[in-house]
Amino acid sequence: MDVEASDREFTIPVGPQHPALKEPASFLFKVDGEVVVDVEPRLGYNHRGIEKAMEARTYIQDLYLVERICGICSNAHQTLYAMNVEEVAGITIPPRAKYLRTFVHELERIHSHLLWVGVAAHEIGFDTLFYYVWRDREVVLDLLEEISGNRVNYAFNAIGGVRRDVPSEKIPKFQKALDVLAERTKYYHGIAASESTILERASGVGYCSKADMLRLCGVGPHARASGVAKDTRHDHPYLAYDEVPFNVITNDGGDVLANVLVRIGELYESVGICKYVLDHLPDGPIREKYSPLAKIPEGEATNMVEAQRGEDIHYILSKGDNKPYRYKIRAPTMANIPSLMVKLKGGYIADIPIVLAGIDPCFSCTDRMVFVDESKDKVWDMNDEELRRYGIRWYQNGNNK
Amino acid sequence: MSYNDDNKRTVEGLTAAIGAENVIEVKMPKDRRIYVTIKTEKLREAVTYLKEKEGITHLATITGTDLGEERELNYHFNRPNLILTIKVRVPGDKPIVPSITDIINGATLYEREINDLLGVFPEGHPNPKRLNLPEEWPEGVHPLLKKWDIKSLRKEVDGQEWT
Amino acid sequence: MGLVTWARTRSPWLIHFNGAACNACDIEILAALAPRFDVERFGGVLKGTPRHADVLVVSGSISRKLRSRLRRIYEQMPEPKFVVAVGSCASTGGVFQDCYNVLEGVDKVIPVSAYIVGCPPKPEAILDGVVKLLVSAGY
């Protein structure tokens, strides 16, 4: 289709209904026919004011607030928070606590990646796969519920260690559950690599080069899918990652398919790490004493963890009180927004849902997407469900050929 | 560990590049963590040095803190086995900092966030539009400043006390 | 009216709105659709548009920026309509009370028919709440 870009530019605001995991974020798209020419993100729908609220709460109360920054990465944020407070307070956690934190950190990664595979499948119309994956995901959630008492938001960390232990008689059962997960992951790997529906919607779609990814400071599986071998567990080892062997999974594809393959590869790695941790769990106590009313000394700390979506960084500044003077949180998705814009540019409107889903976004989004056709003076909108169906129909009608 | 020597060399190189008189303080509280406080007017030079001579291009985020008279900005850079935080301070009555978005493109959203929440304006930023706060939020009300608490913020934004 | 009759004569079409939630409730709502809990055995179906929906399921503490969106979705739903606030945040603001950008609950914006508390509530609790609401409404 030969069109003059300047004549036929449309501006399409997409959002705040996120087409994938129904989180609020808005995007303004300029399109030329079916092709996206430019994108601008509009964020802030999920801005709650957590950092300010943390300054008004004690360190113990903040443990529970920090967990709810995101319900999917909740343990990652809480672990990082505990690490920061412990560093300033001068607390070293016992080795068993280190391993248990690693175990739950990886279990959460497994649950998140499986969730993502299901959601991504749903976005391209492959609902059967969505249901299969979410059924299998219940295996991980059962494990987490058995360890912590809850499927989501485990309240697993305490300042000084972890709150609950894993009794040794449960370990064989957990090992068996992990083996089931490994086997199911192999099955999904086979589908992802060969199923034509997926390949058509994901291969070559939403491309970002390694150079752009580095320039725009991308993180996590999203960056690793563009060949950037950046993984906080490897580059800045924390918890037990200096003792547990694992591989950093990368893929040079740079597209949505590369995203799928990286996350599936990481599922294998996470299962491996969990099994290793269970086999090598040190004996001993699970937490150091820390009084809820304690004040921690003055000081600052900066730490990072590899959350499910990438490098998560928190900074703490203490002025010697029992409340933080300043606590800064930068969750991984924010670092991926600029490179997401690169992925969307030059793609089709029909690709928007899967590319957005591809970065495994976590900004909490929901809402309608508005399309503006400047040359025709037309404004119309689609919500996330309509855009998802638009994408599926568009490809089924062979428009990409 | 070899990375300790590399990290020390990086700091020495940075100090030499911008001039020792422009480096106010260097803190190394533990392995792999270095905090360098520098004069604000040397920020762009420092970042350029890190990018071009040290290959440090990953900016994880920018933290801003209201210290009362001044506002402190922390630019958290990292590479394997090092988190290098460049600290600058701006006066509370004239909170402007030079933008580094043209040097490190990934800084764009972080500078906008500091502007919204702490009122520190990134001079030279290509698009310093509001990022986090809603459209109806009043101008000039930067919630992370210590002068605001939840009650006074609500009064300011909603025009009334919440029941 | 017995549950079976209800299930035969009515099929609640649900639409989900995420109001600045942390996503914990959202993934439990989605889990309620997934095979283990399966809301479809109650006839419940997740739709994408408010114009076809009976029940608006809202999660999240509702940030200021979303107030008008939520209201618009509610207004687009035809009568009779019900609103279910899922989670402690949607009910009262939950852990985000006293956060400056949060409106602390769905009922600050639109009328709520049922509150399902929990952080997050388990899928069984969500289904229980939705079914109780519909049965009490005479479906």
Residue C98 to residues A47, A153, B5, C43, Cα–Cα distance (Å)? 13, 21, 47, 38
Residues 13-52 of A with CB under 8 A from C: 16, 18, 21-24, 44-50, 52
**3-class DSSP state of A316:** strand
Give the pair of three-digit tokens for residue A189: 């790997």
- Give the list of residues 6+ apart from residue A29 with CB closer than 8 angstroms, or none: A10, A11, A12, A13, A14, A36, A38, A39, A344, A349, A352, A371
Residues of chain A positioned with their CB less than 8 A from the CB of C96: 48-50, 53, 65, 68
Strand partners, A73: none
Q: Which residues of C touch B (CB under 8 A)?
A: 63-65, 98-101
Residues of chain C positioned with their CB less than 8 A from the CB of A72: 23-24, 27
Length of chain B counted residue by residue: 163
**Residues C30-53 pLDDT 10s:** 888 777 777 777 767 777 678 888
Mean pLDDT of C102-128: 91
Cα-Cα end-to-end distance for chain A: 12
Residue A115 to residues A138, A263, A264, B50, Cα–Cα distance (Å)? 10, 11, 11, 39
Position B52 in a domain: yes
Residues of chain C positioned with their CB less than 8 A from the CB of A65: 95-96
For residue C130, is pLDDT > 80? Answer: yes
> Closest-CA residue in chain C for B135?
C65
d(CA C55, CA C80): 9
pLDDT-based confidence at residue A263 (cuts at 50, 70, 90): very high
Residues of chain B positioned with their CB less than 8 A from the CB of C99: 150
d(CA A247, CA A234): 9
Cα-Cα end-to-end distance for chain B: 58
> Closest-CA residue in chain B for C102?
B154
- Contact C20/A46, CB-based, under 8 Å? yes
pLDDT-based confidence at residue C10 (cuts at 50, 70, 90): low
Q: Is A114 exposed, middle or buried (0-12, 13-18, 19+ CB in 10 A)?
A: buried
Characterize the bridge pairing of strands B23-30 and B33-38. antiparallel
Of the two residues C70 and C7, the one the predictor is more confident about is C70
- Ranges of beta strands (E only) in A108-181 are 157-158, 161-162
Q: With beta carbons less than 8 A apart as the criterion, state whether B92 and A331 touch.
A: no
Position B102 in a domain: yes
d(CA C100, CA C112): 23
Mean pLDDT of A143-169: 93
Of A49, A65, A131, the CB nearest to C100: A49
**Residues B113-154 pLDDT 10s:** 999 999 999 999 999 999 888 888 899 999 999 999 988 998
d(CA A59, CA A291): 10
For residue A102, is pLDDT > 50? Answer: yes
- Contact C64/B153, CB-based, under 8 Å? no
Q: What is the DSSP string of C38-77?
A: -GGGGT-EE-S-GGG-SEEEEES--BGGGHHHHHHHHHHS
Mean pLDDT of A79-107: 96
Alpha-helix runs per DSSP H in A280-360: 332-344, 352-358
- Contact C22/A16, CB-based, under 8 Å? no
Q: With beta carbons less than 8 A apart as the criterion, state whether B77 and B56 touch.
A: yes
Mean pLDDT of A113-137: 85
Q: With beta carbons less than 8 A apart as the criterion, state whether C99 and A50 touch.
A: yes
The domain ranges of chain A are 9-46+336-396, 50-330
Of A49, A215, A217, the CB nearest to B143: A49
What pLDDT sits at residue A16?
Answer: 47
Report the 10 Å Cβ neighbour count for A66. Answer: 26
Show the domain range for B46: 2-132
What pLDDT sits at residue A28?
Answer: 77
Calculate what percentage of chain A has a pLDDT beyond 70: 88
Helix-then-strand count for chain B, H and E = 4, 7
State pTM to two decimals. Answer: 0.90
What pLDDT sits at residue C29?
Answer: 86
Of the two residues A242 and A356, the one the predictor is more confident about is A242
Residues 318-347 of A with CB under 8 A from C: none
What pLDDT sits at residue A1?
Answer: 38
- Contact A71/C120, CB-based, under 8 Å? yes
Residues of chain C positioned with their CB less than 8 A from the CB of B150: 98-100
Of C28, C65, C102, the CB nearest to A152: C28
- Contact A315/B108, CB-based, under 8 Å? no
**3-class DSSP state of B38:** strand
Show the domain range for C83: 3-134
Mean pLDDT of A302-331: 94
What pLDDT sits at residue C4?
Answer: 57
**Chains touching B, CB cut-off 8 Å, 3+ pairs:** A, C
d(CA B105, CA B108): 6
* Nearest CA-CA partner of A315 in A88, A117, A106: A88
What pLDDT sits at residue A379?
Answer: 59
Q: What is the DSSP string of A168-224?
A: GGGHHHHHHHHHHHHHHHHHHHHHHHH-HHHHHHHTT-S---HHHHHHTT--HHHHH
Give the pair of three-digit tokens for residue C11: 């099929």
A297: preceding bond cis by omega (within 30 degrees):
no
**Residues A46-81 pLDDT 10s:** 788 889 999 999 999 999 999 998 888 899 999 999
pLDDT-based confidence at residue A3 (cuts at 50, 70, 90): very low
d(CA B68, CA A326): 13
For residue A4, is pLDDT > 50? Answer: no
For residue A190, is pLDDT > 70? Answer: yes
> Closest-CA residue in chain A for C67?
A45
For residue C7, is pLDDT > 60? Answer: no
CA distance B18 to chain A (A): 23
d(CA A236, CA A375): 51
d(CA B117, CA B62): 12
pLDDT-based confidence at residue A2 (cuts at 50, 70, 90): very low
Give the pair of three-digit tokens for residue B7: 């990290």
Q: With beta carbons less than 8 A apart as the criterion, state whether A118 and A136 touch.
A: no
**Residues A319-352 pLDDT 10s:** 999 999 999 999 898 899 999 999 999 888 888 8
What pLDDT sits at residue A378?
Answer: 60
What pLDDT sits at residue A366?
Answer: 31
- Contact A236/B105, CB-based, under 8 Å? no
CA distance C64 to chain B (A): 7
- Contact C100/B153, CB-based, under 8 Å? yes
Characterize the bridge pairing of strands C82-86 and C114-116. parallel
CA distance C115 to chain B (A): 21
CA distance B31 to chain C (A): 34
Helices A95-123 + A171-194 axis angle, to 10: 30
Of the two residues A203 and A361, the one the predictor is more confident about is A203
* Nearest CA-CA partner of A317 in A338, A337, A296, A333: A296
Of the two residues B17 and A14, the one the predictor is more confident about is B17
Residues of chain A positioned with their CB less than 8 A from the CB of C122: 151
Give the pair of three-digit tokens for residue A393: 């129909």
For residue A307, is pLDDT > 80? Answer: yes
Mean pLDDT of A160-171: 94
Residues 69-98 of C with CB under 8 A from A: 69, 94-96, 98
d(CA B141, CA B106): 26
| 8-state DSSP, A352 | H
A16: preceding bond cis by omega (within 30 degrees):
yes
- Contact C18/A364, CB-based, under 8 Å? yes
d(CA B163, CA C45): 38
- Contact B80/A326, CB-based, under 8 Å? no
Q: With beta carbons less than 8 A apart as the criterion, state whether B32 and B5 touch.
A: no
**3-class DSSP state of B140:** coil
- Contact C100/B136, CB-based, under 8 Å? no
Q: Which of A104-108, A381-385, B131-135, C96-100 has the highest mean pLDDT?
A: A104-108
For residue C13, is pLDDT > 90? Answer: no
> Closest-CA residue in chain A for C22?
A70
Give the pair of three-digit tokens for residue A17: 């209904």
d(CA B37, CA A5): 48
- Contact A214/B57, CB-based, under 8 Å? yes
- Give the list of residues 6+ apart from residue A215 with CB closer than 8 angstroms, or none: B57, B105, B106
Q: Structurally, how many domains does chain B consist of? A: 1
Position B143 in a domain: no
Reading phi first (left if > 0) and then psi (alpha if -120 to 50, else beta), residue C6 is in alpha
State the amino acid at position C83 in one-letter form.
V
Residues of chain B positioned with their CB less than 8 A from the CB of C98: 150
Mean pLDDT, chain A, as a whole number?
85
Q: Is C90 exposed, middle or buried (0-12, 13-18, 19+ CB in 10 A)?
A: buried
What pLDDT sits at residue B134?
Answer: 85
Under 8 Å CB pairs connecting chains A and C tally to 129
Angle at alpha carbon of residue A362, lines to A66 and B143, rounded to 5°: 55
CA distance C54 to chain B (A): 30
Q: With beta carbons less than 8 A apart as the criterion, state whether A37 and A119 touch.
A: no
The domain that contains B102 carries what CATH number? 3.30.460.80
Characterize the bridge pairing of strands A9-14 and A368-373. antiparallel
Mutate to test the interface with C, among B131, B136, B156 (most CBs of C within 10 A): B136
- C57/A contact by beta carbon, under 8 A: no
What pLDDT sits at residue A25?
Answer: 63
Q: Structurally, how many domains does chain C consist of? A: 1
d(CA A53, CA B46): 33
Residues of chain C positioned with their CB less than 8 A from the CB of A151: 28, 122
Q: Which of A36-45, A127-136, A255-264, C28-37 has the highest mean pLDDT?
A: A255-264
Q: Which residue ranges in chain B fall short of pLDDT 50?
A: none
Give the pair of three-digit tokens for residue A121: 């499948």
d(CA C56, CA C83): 5
Under 8 Å CB pairs connecting chains A and B tally to 90
d(CA A225, CA A79): 26
CA distance A124 to chain C (A): 15
Out of A220-229, A386-395, B56-65, pick the least confident. A386-395
Mean pLDDT of A196-216: 90
For residue A374, is pLDDT > 70? Answer: no
Give the pair of three-digit tokens for residue A382: 């689609």
The domain that contains C102 carries what CATH number? 3.40.50.12280
pLDDT-based confidence at residue A17 (cuts at 50, 70, 90): very low
d(CA A73, CA A83): 16
State the amino acid at position C28 in one-letter form.
E
- Contact C24/A152, CB-based, under 8 Å? yes
d(CA A54, CA A51): 5
- Contact C120/A152, CB-based, under 8 Å? yes
Mean pLDDT of A221-233: 96
Domain A50-330 has CATH 1.10.645.10: yes
Give the pair of three-digit tokens for residue C56: 């608006």
Of C101, C102, C122, the CB nearest to A151: C122
Mean pLDDT of C70-91: 90
Give the pair of three-digit tokens for residue B149: 């608490």
